[in-house]
Amino acid sequence: MFYLSLIPFIVLIIYDFIKAIHMAQQNLYNDDHRFLKWTIKDIKAFKTHFKCELIILVTYLIIVIFNIQTNFITNIYFFVVSIISLLIKMNENKGVDTKIKLKITPRVKRLMVTNLIMFLLVCFLLYFVKDDNVKYLVLIAYDFLLNFIVMISIIINKPVEKMVYLSYKNKAVKKLNSMSNLKVIGITGSYGKTSSKNILSDILNVKYNALASPKNFNTPYGLIMTVNNYLDKFDDILIAEMGAYKVGEIKQLCDLVKPKYGILTKIGTAHIEIFGSQENIRKGKFELIENLPHDGIGVLNADDPLQVSYKLKNDCKIIWIGIDNKDADILASDIKTSNKGTTFNVMFKGDEKKYQFTTKLLGYNNIYNILASLALAKEFNLTIDQMKKAVLGVKSVEHRLELRQAGNITYIDDSYNSNPVGSKMALDVLKKMPKPRIVMTPGMVELGDKSYELNKKFGTYMKDSADIVILVGKRITKPIKDGLEEVKFNDKNIYVVNSTNEAFSLVRSLTNGKQAYCLIENDLPDIYNE
């Protein structure tokens, strides 16, 4: 009977383990203690997992302490509560849309094997324990501490992961060294990296074979995979997106792929909670430009005070782009936005002519990204006609101010990520659209101690841009709601829901078949589910 009672509990542990591995993956396998911090927040918020295990533990202790059990009662109790706990968790997750699926990578498989060995070791040791009560208590504690056990398995696997990393890295370096004519362009910034990378790729591919690192492959592992699995001997250019969470990580990427050209999009407050300060963010992002060779070329944004005021420790050529700063080397003006796209004029330093460009893309951020791409396109000897044709053909980047039509509703999908500057620019795009205009958002994250202030400001900005606001998650969106109330936004047009699925259903019911525009600003991964 004892072993029979363990069957649903083993299923429960497997279910909880898959969830723990999933969250560990989304938290970069506890890099910079991200998974640990997320787990502590989850415990403080008293999420369902910990609530269920704590209830099981406390009730079981009561049974043991007051001696109100026989072996049969204990077995039945454990069997029943395991099933109830499993059903509660499955029911809760049924209504939650999983935005980022668990990827069963070789690393995940190694973690699974390590955790299986650890669990079997615990079971082996429990075999020698005579008291069933002790066995039950140890197993309950094991499930309760599962996130921490996964962290231990990550530590155990570190030497193996290091060996695997070095093996793939050496292979990538050898391949890069064999392609002596390959031009490497690095792109970094607090936001706009992926959009800039894809825009540059579309433009340069008019004349060259340019490979952009796929998806969000912007880590050492990502760039190593790009080189080993995607880079071809016929490629002329490698465009490497470079992400970072702390000072020194961009330099590590530069040491790997050795870029001669670099684009710094804009410096903001994204990931300030992890970086520690905005100055650290600035130092980290400028590592790309400062690691270019002396004959390299860096593209900087003249409208970004944090870039203009930085004392650069490199004598490479710098090209400044801008919209507001008239001293920029490449300047955009006369920008007109509609639901069809954007038209604008471009002037190149030393050329008095204005050239009109048209793009399907929306928002000032994309104008900056196009200007940066034009700066390098000129260095790569593309003609103005080639540039115009390429800009007109640039495809929308998925989930980055991407227009999506769904019946009567036009979605402005800016759900990949959100930051204070980008979110305000997204609202400016929405403002130019016909009414009714809807904002759907869970707000911005990883803003450290500025989180409340910046999300509240985000709420105040909605006053002139939106007619209806749908907030996803009551707790996380409170600062936005406070901002809306401060500017006296009509509270009848503010809705709070628990998931994006609910939000989409609400948009459809509110529009009732009429034409409408809905901005989706940020769609947080599952680690932020309430």
- 404, with CB counted inside 10 A (0-12, 13-18, 19+), is middle
All CATH 3.40.1190.10 domain ranges of the chain, comma separated, are 180-393
Give the pair of three-digit tokens for residue 339: 């639901």
Determine the Cα angle at 221 with ends 215 and 224, to 5°.
Answer: 85
**pLDDT given at position 271:** 66
How does pLDDT run across 240-269, given as a tens digit for each residue? 999 988 889 999 999 999 999 999 998 877
Give the pair of three-digit tokens for residue 355: 């050239």
The interaxial angle of helices 71-94 and 132-144, nearest 10 deg, is: 10
C-alpha span between 471 and 394 (Å, rounded): 32
Topology classification of domain 180-393:
UDP-N-acetylmuramoyl-L-alanine:D-glutamate ligase (3.40.1190)
C-alpha span between 359 and 394 (Å, rounded): 7
**pLDDT given at position 166:** 95
**Around Cβ 491, how many Cβ atoms within 10 Å?**
10
Give the pair of three-digit tokens for residue 530: 């309430």
C-alpha span between 131 and 225 (Å, rounded): 51
pTM: 0.76
221 touches 230 (CB < 8 A) = no
**pLDDT given at position 460:** 95
Bridge partners, 211 (sequence order): 238
**pLDDT given at position 330:** 97
What b/e sequence results for 504-522 when a residue is b if at least 16 CB atoms lie within 10 Å of its CB, and e otherwise? bebbeebbeeeebbbbbbb
**pLDDT given at position 68:** 53
All CATH 3.90.190.20 domain ranges of the chain, comma separated, are 402-528
The strands making up 237-241's β-sheet, listed across from edge to edge, are: 210-212, 237-241, 183-188, 261-264, 297-301, 317-322, 330-338, 341-348, 355-359
**pLDDT given at position 116:** 95
**pLDDT given at position 324:** 94
The interaxial angle of helices 146-178 and 132-144, nearest 10 deg, is: 40
Topology classification of domain 402-528:
Protein-Tyrosine Phosphatase; Chain A (3.90.190)
- Classify 137 as helix, strand or coil: helix
Bridge partners, 348 (sequence order): 330
Asked if the bond preceding 106 is cis, omega within 30° of 0, the reply is no
Give the pair of three-digit tokens for residue 469: 């606001």
Rounded average pLDDT per 10-residue block, the chain, 530 residues: 80 90 89 86 68 71 62 75 79 62 91 95 90 82 90 96 95 96 95 90 96 91 95 96 90 96 87 75 94 96 95 95 95 88 94 94 90 97 96 84 87 81 87 91 81 92 94 91 95 91 91 91 62
C-alpha span between 364 and 332 (Å, rounded): 10
404 touches 440 (CB < 8 A) = no
> CB within 8 A of 427, min separation 6: which ones?
439, 461, 462, 465, 466, 519, 521
The CA–CA distances, whole Å, from 369 to 193, 284, 360, 380, 441 equal 9, 20, 13, 17, 24
C-alpha span between 392 and 389 (Å, rounded): 5
